Amino acid sequence: MNGRTSTIAVSLTTAATLLLTLTACGSGDDDKGGQDGKGGSADKATGSSAPAAKKKPTKSAAQLALTKREVPAHTMVEPSDNFVFAKSRETVKLDKPVCAPLGYAMSQFPVGDTQDSFVRVAEKKEFDGAFTYVTLATYAPGKAQDAMADMKKALSACEGGFTAKGDKASNVYESVTTETSGTAPTPDADESLAFRATTKYQSDTHTVRTQATRHGDTIALYFAVDANAFLQSRSGNGEIFPAVVKSQEKKLN
């Protein structure tokens, strides 16, 4: 399946519809290989002073992805095509183009000029309405560094927020803040960054979190949202599952 599940479709008319959008999962075999999306070249490379990639990836994004049984107390499932924020990255429109890398990362699209990409969503086996989406992408040599540089540039330019418009909804982010604490540790990554963004649904503020790591020519994007908060009419605070990051990072090393 090649659709990406919408995660903050704040323009939807009811919280129940939003939660369905957040939680809809397919019935495919989560352990199978294959490519879940081909990367495009919507972002222009800006260059990077980061260290050179250690090695060229020898596996596709799908082969590097976690399977349903690889994370203790969690399961990995396949996103559904039934509810999507945008059919493709090229249809995502930003009021501030510089913020595009952040908008893509929070909509389960890869950043930059990729070779291939793959998406899975993690939930706890004792389900509590929280989700961590994992988007993996592989790149030609040097392109992953460019993608990380684009995200860092966006973080500096988009603190005041931005709007991302998809095919049927708009995600209005009121603020974007870089985070240096409270993120899952990624000691073996060549580069990493993390940020939180806030959006409002009705009168409640919802915080979502994103973490990005680069391992050579591969980038992992982790995105967390508290879906139950929308249904319960309360503020939400998405937290990235540490066990998911730990398991995925181990598989990337």
Q: Are 106 and 117 in contact (CB under 8 A)?
A: no
The string of pLDDT tens digits covering residues 20-30 is 333 333 333 44
Ranges of beta strands (E only) in the chain are 74-77, 93-94, 116-124, 130-138, 162-165, 170-173, 175-178, 191-201, 204-215, 218-226, 236-237
pLDDT of residue 4: 43
Number of domains the chain is built from: 1
- By residue range, what is the domain housing residue 229? 15-31+59-252
Question: Any idea what the CATH number is for the domain that residue 152 is in?
Answer: 3.40.1000.70
Residue 43 lies in a domain: no
Asked if 207 and 173 touch (Cβ cutoff 8 Å), the reply is no
- Supply the pLDDT for residue 187: 81
Asked whether residue 105 is assigned to any structural domain, the reply reads yes
**Inside any domain, residue 38:** no
For residue 36, tell me if it sits in a domain. Answer: no
**With the CA atoms of 39, 45, 51 and 57 taken in that order, what torsion angle do they form, in degrees rounded to the nearest 10?**
20
Question: 113-158: per-residue pLDDT in tens?
Answer: 999 999 999 999 999 989 999 999 999 999 999 999 999 999 999 9
Q: Is residue 196 in a domain?
A: yes
**Is 130 within the bounds of a domain?**
yes
pLDDT band at 44 (very low <50, low <70, confident <90, very high): very low
Q: How confident is the model at residue 236 (pLDDT cuts 50, 70, 90)?
A: very high
Structure tokens at 181: 């604490």
Q: In this structure, which amino acid lies at residue 228?
A: N
In a domain, 7, yes or no: no
Residue with tokens 């501030």: 96
Task: Say if residues 7 and 107 touch (Cβ distance below 8 Å).
Answer: yes
- Angle at CA of residue 220, ends 217 and 225, nearest 5°: 165
Has residue 9 been placed in a domain? no
CB 208 within 8 A of CB 238: yes
Residue 225 has pLDDT above 60, yes or no: yes
